C-alpha cells in the first residue's frame, strides 16, 4: 500500500491511539492516588460507622452490606470524581494552556491536524474511561480497606463489607451515570479553563487551578442532580 | 499594469482579545515578495503573520488570495511550537503527512541537516535541546514543508548574534511564493527582504522598499 | 547479570524513596523555619494575605459548602427514607457535614484555587530571580515571604471551614425541608439532640491540619519547581496533587484518633 499517507507521524495515528496514550498517562497515572484515597476513605467511613454503631447499639455486620451499597451509589463516585478533578483537571488544564501559549496548537492546525479530533476528543474519551476505571478500582479498594480495618479492630467481618448483596441495578446505574458524567465534565472544564487563561506562565497556573475548581463543582452538581433523579 | 497580487488585505483587522490584535491594514503582496514586518511588541506583528498563515480570521475587512484559494503555507513560530510529546524528527515530519514514508523521512532529515542539526539529535525530545537548537528545528519544519508561502515569526529572538546570523541565512522561499519575516529587532534579517512594513500602535502602518523603511526604523529605535 | 539486576532493583526502589525522604525533609525544614518565624511575623503582610486569600475563596467556599450540605441530605436522605427514620436526618447530615464533608471539600477547593496560585507565585518569584535577590540582600526570605504565606493559608482554611460549616448546615436544613418536607425546626432539634460542639471542633481540628498541609505543599512545590516558565505550571500542579495526598492521609490519621 505504497503512496498512502505514512503511518509514521504521531498525528497520523487515529485518535484512538492518542486516547490510549492519554488513558495511560492520566487514567492509570491517577490510579495510585485515587485507589489510596478511596482505601483511606473506606477506613475513615468504617471508623465513623463503628463510632456511631457503638452509640446507637447497632450491629456493624448488618451495616456492612449497606456500606457497599452506599459506596457504589454515593461515596465512590464522589471521591473518585474529586480526586480526578484535582489530578486530571490540573494536568489537562496546564497541558492545554501550555500547548496554546507555546503555539503548539497553532502549529498543529497549520499542518493539517484537526484539533478537535486529535487533541480534544482523545482527552475527553480518556477522561471518561479513566474515571470509570478509577471508580471500579476505588470501590474494591474502599470495601477491602474498610472490611480489613473492621476485621483488624474487631468491629466487624471482612466478608460483610465486600458483600454486594444489597447493591441493585439502580445503584449500579447511578454509579455508572455519575462516573460517566464526571469523566466527561472534567476534561471539558479543563479545556474551558485553558482557553480562558491561556497565555504566559501565570496563565498556565491559573488554568490548572481553575480546571480543578470547576471540576470539583461539576462533580458536586452532578452528584446532587443524579441523586435527586434516582431517588 | 502589474500582475494581480498573490494576497491582498483590505482593511483587515483583528479585534483585541486573547488571540492578539491588529489595527485595520491594507496590504498587497505579489508573488516572490520578501517582506519584513517590524514594530514594538503588541503592535500586531504576530497577529498579522497568523492572519497570513490562516490561523486567525480577520474580525473586520478581508484577506483575498489570488485565485480565491490560499496556497500551502508554513510557519515557524516565535516559541518554536515543537510538540513536547514527539521527537525532533517527528515534529519536522508533521506536515509531510501526505507523502509516502520514505520520501517524508528523506525530506525531513535533509531539512534538519540543512539547519545544522545532527542525526544524533533526531530522536531527542524538544525539552532536551537548547533554545537555539529548538529554534532551528522549528525553522526546519517550515522549510521541509516545501510550501510556497513561508512565514517566520521572530526567527532570531533570544539567540546570540552568531547563531542569529546563521539562522537568518537559512530563511528562504521559492520565487513564486512569499517570504514573510516578523521581528521586533530585525538586525541582519533586513538583508533577506526587499520590502519593509512597520506596525505601531495608534499610527498608520508604513510599507515601503527595504532601505527606506529600514532607515526610518533605525532612526526611530 | 544478577548483580546488575540487583542494582537496577535497588535503584527502582531507592530513587523514589530517596526523593520522598528528601521532600519530607525539606518540608520539615520549611515548617520548622516558619514556626520559628511565627513570633516575629510581619502582621501587616499576614493580614493582607489572609484578606486576599479569604476574599478570593469566600464565594467559592460558600457555593461548595452549600452544595455539600445539599449533597449530604440527598445522599443520606435515600437511606433515611427507606428506613423511615426522618428524625435522624438532622443528626446524619450534621454529623457528616461537620466531621467529614465540609473540612474535606473546603480543603480540596482551597488547594485547587489558593494553594495552586501560591505555588505558582513562589515559582514565578524564583523564575524572576526575586527570591535569590532578596537572599543576596540579606533578607530572610522565609521570614519575609514564606512564613506569612504559610500561616495566612493555614489560618484561612480554618476560618473558611468554620464559615463553610454554617453554610452547609443551613443548606442541609433547607434541602431537607424542600426535598423531604422535614421542618427546619425538626432538623435543628435532631441535630441538637445528638451533636455537640465537640463534632464541630473535631472537624475544625482536621481543617487546621489540612490547612498546614496545603500551605506546606504549595510552598514546597513552588520552591522545588524548575525556575522557568514551565516550572510555574508544574508547581501549581504539584501543589494540588501533593496537598490532596496529604489531606487524605491526615484525614485517616485524625479520624482514627477520634
| C79:A90 CB<8 A | no
Counted domains in chain A: 1
Average pLDDT over residues A133-146: 93
Residue A89 inside a domain? The answer is yes
Residues from chain C that touch A43, judged by Cβ atoms under 8 A, are 252, 255-256
Which of A9, A101, A123 is the best residue to mutate to test the B interface, defined by the most B CB atoms within 10 Å of its own CB?
A9
**C-alpha–C-alpha distance, residues B151 and B78, integer Å:** 11
**C-alpha–C-alpha distance, residues B1 and A133, integer Å:** 69
- How many CA atoms lie within 13 Å of A192's alpha carbon, on the beta-carbon side? 12
Q: C-alpha cell of B27?
A: 496590504
Note whether B4 and B105 are same-domain residues: no
Note whether B187 and B93 are same-domain residues: no
Note whether B65 and B153 are same-domain residues: yes
Would you state the pLDDT for residue B164? Answer: 81
**C-alpha–C-alpha distance, residues B42 and A86, integer Å:** 35
Average pLDDT over residues C65-80: 86
**Chain C interface includes A221 (CB < 8 A):** yes
| A104:B82 CB<8 A | yes
Would you state the pLDDT for residue B2? Answer: 52
Percent of chain B at pLDDT exceeding 70: 99
Residue B2 inside a domain? The answer is yes
Tens-digit pLDDT profile for residues C2-20: 678 788 877 777 776 777 7
Residue B213 inside a domain? The answer is yes
What residue numbers bound the domain in which A162 lies? 14-229
Instruction: List, as ranges, residues 59-98 from A with C-beta within 8 Å of C.
Output: 66, 70, 73-74, 78, 82-83, 85-87, 89-91, 94, 97-98
**Chain C interface includes A162 (CB < 8 A):** no
DSSP for A3-60 reads TSPPS-SGGGS-HHHHHHHHIIIIIIHHHHHHHHHHHHHHHHHHHHHHHHHHHHT--H
Residues from chain A that touch C99, judged by Cβ atoms under 8 A, are 48
Q: C-alpha cell of C242?
A: 501533593
Counted domains in chain B: 2
pLDDT over threshold 50, residue A54: yes
Residue A153 Cα, gap to closest chain B Cα (Å): 48
Mapped onto helix, strand or coil, the DSSP state of residue C149 is helix
Tens-digit pLDDT profile for residues C179-219: 888 888 888 888 888 888 888 899 999 999 999 999 999 99
User: Which of B54, B78, B104 shows the shortest C-beta gap to A6?
Assistant: B104
Q: Which is nearest to C252 in space by CA: B29, A43, A229, B66? A: A43
Would you state the pLDDT for residue A217? Answer: 92
User: Which of A6, A101, A199 shows the shortest C-beta gap to B97?
Assistant: A6
Does residue C149 contact residue C119 with C-beta atoms inside 8 Å?
A: no
Residue C81 Cα, gap to closest chain A Cα (Å): 10
Residue A91 Cα, gap to closest chain C Cα (Å): 7
- For residue A48, the chain C residue with the least C-alpha distance is C255
Chain length of chain B: 221
What residue numbers bound the domain in which B118 lies? 73-147
b/e burial code for range A59-85 (CB count within 10 A of at least 16 → b): ebbebbbbbbbbbbbbbbbbbbbbbbb
Residue B169 inside a domain? The answer is no
**C-alpha–C-alpha distance, residues B113 and B121, integer Å:** 10
Question: What H or E segment, with its residue span, contains residue B132?
Answer: helix B131-144
Strand order in the sheet with B20-29: B20-29, B7-17, B60-65
Average pLDDT over residues C82-97: 80
Does residue C186 contact residue C130 with C-beta atoms inside 8 Å?
A: no
Note whether B154 and B105 are same-domain residues: no
- For helices A29-56 and A76-101, give the axis angle rounded to 10 degrees: 150
Average pLDDT over residues C237-255: 86
Percent of chain B at pLDDT exceeding 90: 29
Residue A133 inside a domain? The answer is yes
Tens-digit pLDDT profile for residues B109-165: 998 998 888 888 888 888 788 888 888 888 898 888 888 999 999 988 877 788 788
Note whether B112 and B26 are same-domain residues: no
Which of C233, C253, C256 is the best residue to mutate to test the A interface, defined by the most A CB atoms within 10 Å of its own CB?
C233
Task: Tell me, rounded to whole angstroms, the distance of Cα C174 from its chain centroid.
Answer: 27
- For residue A101, the chain B residue with the least C-alpha distance is B79
Note whether B11 and B43 are same-domain residues: yes
**C-alpha–C-alpha distance, residues B75 and B97, integer Å:** 16
Residue A94 Cα, gap to closest chain B Cα (Å): 13
Note whether B121 and B154 are same-domain residues: no
Residue A92 Cα, gap to closest chain C Cα (Å): 10
Does residue A51 contact residue C77 with C-beta atoms inside 8 Å?
A: no
Amino acid at each position: 500500500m505504497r503512496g498512502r499517507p505514512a503511518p509514521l507521524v504521531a498525528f497520523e495515528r487515529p485518535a484512538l491511539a492518542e486516547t490510549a496514550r492519554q488513558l495511560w498517562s492520566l487514567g492509570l497515572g491517577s490510579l495510585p492516588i485515587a485507589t489510596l484515597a478511596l482505601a483511606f476513605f473506606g477506613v475513615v467511613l468504617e471508623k465513623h460507622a463503628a463510632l456511631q454503631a457503638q452509640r446507637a447499639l447497632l450491629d456493624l455486620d448488618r451495616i456492612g452490606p449497606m456500606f457497599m451499597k452506599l459506596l457504589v451509589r454515593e461515596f465512590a463516585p464522589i471521591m473518585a470524581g474529586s480526586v480526578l478533578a484535582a489530578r486530571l483537571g490540573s494536568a489537562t488544564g496546564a497541558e492545554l494552556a501550555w500547548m496554546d501559549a507555546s503555539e503548539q496548537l497553532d502549529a498543529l492546525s497549520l499542518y493539517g491536524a484537526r484539533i478537535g479530533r486529535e487533541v480534544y476528543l482523545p482527552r475527553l474519551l480518556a477522561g471518561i474511561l479513566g474515571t470509570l476505571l478509577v471508580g471500579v478500582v476505588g470501590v474494591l479498594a474502599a470495601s477491602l480497606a474498610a472490611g480489613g480495618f473492621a476485621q483488624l479492630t474487631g468491629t466487624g467481618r471482612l466478608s460483610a463489607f465486600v458483600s454486594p448483596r444489597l447493591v441493585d441495578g439502580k445503584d449500579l446505574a447511578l454509579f455508572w451515570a455519575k462516573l460517566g458524567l464526571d469523566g466527561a465534565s472534567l476534561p471539558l472544564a479543563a479545556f474551558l479553563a485553558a482557553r480562558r487563561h491561556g497565555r504566559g506562565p501565570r496563565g498556565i497556573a491559573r488554568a490548572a487551578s481553575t480546571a480543578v475548581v470547576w471540576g470539583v463543582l461539576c462533580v458536586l452538581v452532578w452528584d446532587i442532580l443524579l441523586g435527586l433523579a434516582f431517588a | 499594469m502589474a500582475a494581480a497580487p498573490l494576497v491582498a488585505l483590505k482593511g483587515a483587522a483583528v479585534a483585541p482579545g486573547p488571540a492578539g490584535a491588529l489595527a485595520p491594514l491594507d496590504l498587497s503582496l505579489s508573488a516572490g515578495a520578501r517582506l519584513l514586518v517590524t514594530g514594538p511588541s503588541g503592535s500586531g506583528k504576530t497577529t498579522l503573520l497568523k492572519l497570513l498563515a490562516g490561523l486567525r480570521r480577520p474580525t473586520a475587512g478581508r484577506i483575498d488570495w489570488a485565485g480565491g484559494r490560499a496556497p500551502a503555507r508554513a510557519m515557524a513560530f516565535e516559541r518554536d511550537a515543537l510538540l513536547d510529546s514527539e521527537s525532533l524528527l517527528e515534529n519536522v515530519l508533521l506536515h509531510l503527512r501526505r507523502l509516502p514514508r520514505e520520501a517524508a523521512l528523506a525530506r525531513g532529515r535533509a531539512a534538519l541537516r540543512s539547519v545544522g542539526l545532527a542525526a544524533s539529535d533526531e530522536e531527542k525530545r524538544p525539552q532536551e535541546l537548547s533554545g537555539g537548537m529548538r529554534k532551528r528545528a522549528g525553522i526546519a519544519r517550515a522549510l521541509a514543508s516545501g510550501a510556497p508561502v513561508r512565514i517566520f515569526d521572530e526567527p532570531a529572538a533570544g539567540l546570540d548574534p552568531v547563531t542569529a546570523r546563521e539562522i537568518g541565512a537559512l530563511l528562504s522561499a521559492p520565487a513564486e511564493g512569499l517570504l514573510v519575516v516578523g521581528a521586533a529587532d530585525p538586525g541582519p534579517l533586513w538583508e533577506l527582504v526587499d520590502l519593509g512594513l512597520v506596525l505601531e500602535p495608534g499610527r498608520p502602518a508604513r510599507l515601503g522598499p527595504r532601505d527606506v523603511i529600514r532607515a526610518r526604523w533605525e532612526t526611530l529605535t | 547479570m544478577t548483580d546488575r539486576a540487583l542494582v537496577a532493583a535497588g535503584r527502582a526502589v531507592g530513587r523514589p524513596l530517596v526523593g520522598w525522604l528528601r521532600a519530607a525533609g525539606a518540608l520539615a525544614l520549611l515548617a520548622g523555619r516558619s514556626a520559628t518565624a511565627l513570633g516575629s511575623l510581619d502582621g501587616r503582610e499576614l493580614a493582607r494575605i489572609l484578606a486576599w486569600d479569604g476574599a478570593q475563596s469566600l464565594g467559592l467556599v460558600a457555593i461548595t459548602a452549600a452544595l455539600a450540605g445539599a449533597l449530604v441530605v440527598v445522599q443520606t436522605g435515600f437511606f433515611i427514607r427507606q428506613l423511615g427514620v426522618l428524625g435522624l436526618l438532622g443528626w446524619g447530615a450534621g454529623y457528616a457535614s461537620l466531621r467529614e464533608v465540609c473540612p474535606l471539600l473546603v480543603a480540596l477547593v482551597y488547594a485547587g484555587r489558593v494553594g495552586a496560585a501560591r505555588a505558582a507565585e513562589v515559582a514565578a518569584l524564583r523564575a524572576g530571580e526575586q527570591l535569590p535577590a532578596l537572599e543576596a540582600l540579606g533578607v530572610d526570605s522565609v521570614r519575609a515571604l514564606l512564613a506569612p504565606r504559610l500561616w495566612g493559608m493555614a489560618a484561612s482554611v480554618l476560618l473558611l471551614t468554620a464559615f463553610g460549616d454554617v453554610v452547609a448546615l443551613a443548606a442541609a436544613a433547607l434541602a431537607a425541608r424542600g426535598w423531604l418536607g422535614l421542618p427546619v425546626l425538626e432538623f435543628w432539634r435532631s441535630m441538637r439532640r445528638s451533636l455537640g460542639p465537640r463534632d464541630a471542633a473535631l472537624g475544625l481540628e482536621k481543617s487546621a491540619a489540612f490547612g498546614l498541609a496545603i500551605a506546606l505543599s504549595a510552598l514546597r512545590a513552588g520552591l522545588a519547581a524548575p525556575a522557568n516558565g514551565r516550572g510555574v505550571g508544574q508547581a501549581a500542579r504539584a501543589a494540588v496533587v501533593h496537598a490532596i495526598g496529604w489531606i487524605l492521609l491526615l484525614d485517616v490519621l485524625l479520624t482514627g484518633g477520634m
